[in-house]
């Protein structure tokens, strides 16, 4: 059986700084991933081929980030019934609002789970991917719970520290 993985797609290498945040989270939980530059508009056939091939090789879900008229996540969703998480990227004159609307406004029946604009969204795409995979992986589910406890402890420590300023 092929190893499961998450595909992280981006429309351009100029999206990498943002989308690498998804990979950082997946790496943290030891989730295998592939990083791919492919464009809904510039390389539509390659995008379709990658999605279909990735499914055959064990891709469980897709994270797709793009800027401007960001149709990459939707194009991936058009070719797959695996979950697709979309990250709108601030890579144009409208500060990502264009990408947000392009990613989120999918027609009924072809969903894209759309995250926040930019790095925060890319990080949460990684976390949400982990949470989806954890449905079938108790060790991963426990690792996510442990990380939540660490976050809570960090907030508590900041609450103590701020009183000492």
Does 95 help bind ligand RP5 (rule: CB under 6 A)? no
Nearest approach in angstroms of CB 68 to ligand RP5 is 4
Which two structure tokens, joined as six digits, stand for 17? Answer: 């700084």
CA angle 3, 149, 28 (to 5 degrees): 30
131 lines the binding site for ligand RP5 (CB under 6 A): no
Is residue 39 close enough to count as binding ligand RP5 by CB under 6 A? yes
Task: Give the DSSP letter string of 29-95.
Answer: TT--EEEEE--TTTSHHHHHHHHHHHHHHTEEEEEEEEESS--HHHHHHHT-SS-EEEEEE--STTT
Interacting stretch for ligand RP5, rule CB under 6 A, among 62-70, 107-115, 141-149, 155-163?
62-70
Q: Interface with ligand RP5 includes 63 (CB under 6 A)?
A: no
How far apart CA 2 and CA 64 sit, in angstroms, is 22
20 binds ligand RP5 (CB under 6 A): no
Give the contacts of 13 (CB within 8 A, at least 6 positions apart): 37
**The only residue of 26, 31, 64, 66 in contact with ligand RP5, by rule CB under 6 A:** 66
Residues in contact with ligand RP5, total (CB under 6 A)? 10
Site stretch for ligand RP5 (CB under 6 A), options 24-32, 60-68, 103-111, 141-149: 60-68
Residues that bind ligand RP5 (CB under 6 A): 11-12, 14-15, 39, 66-68, 89, 91
């Amino acid at each position: 059986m092929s190893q499961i993985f998450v595909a992280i797609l981006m429309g351009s290498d100029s999206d990498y700084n943002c989308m690498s945040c998804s990979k950082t989270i997946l790496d943290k939980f030891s989730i295998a991933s592939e990083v791919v530059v492919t464009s809904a508009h510039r390389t539509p056939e390659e995008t379709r081929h990658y999605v279909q091939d990735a499914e055959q090789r064990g891709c469980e879900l897709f994270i797709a980030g793009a800027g401007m008229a960001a149709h990459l996540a939707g194009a991936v969703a058009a070719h797959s019934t695996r979950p697709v998480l979309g990250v709108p990227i601030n890579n144009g004159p409208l500060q990502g609002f264009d990408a947000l609307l392009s990613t989120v406004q999918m027609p009924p029946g072809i969903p894209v789970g759309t995250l926040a604009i930019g790095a925060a969204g890319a990080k949460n795409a990684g976390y949400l991917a982990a949470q989806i995979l954890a449905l079938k992986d108790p060790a991963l589910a426990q690792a996510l719970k442990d990380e939540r406890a660490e976050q809570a402890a960090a907030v508590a420590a900041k609450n103590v520290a701020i009183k000492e300023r």
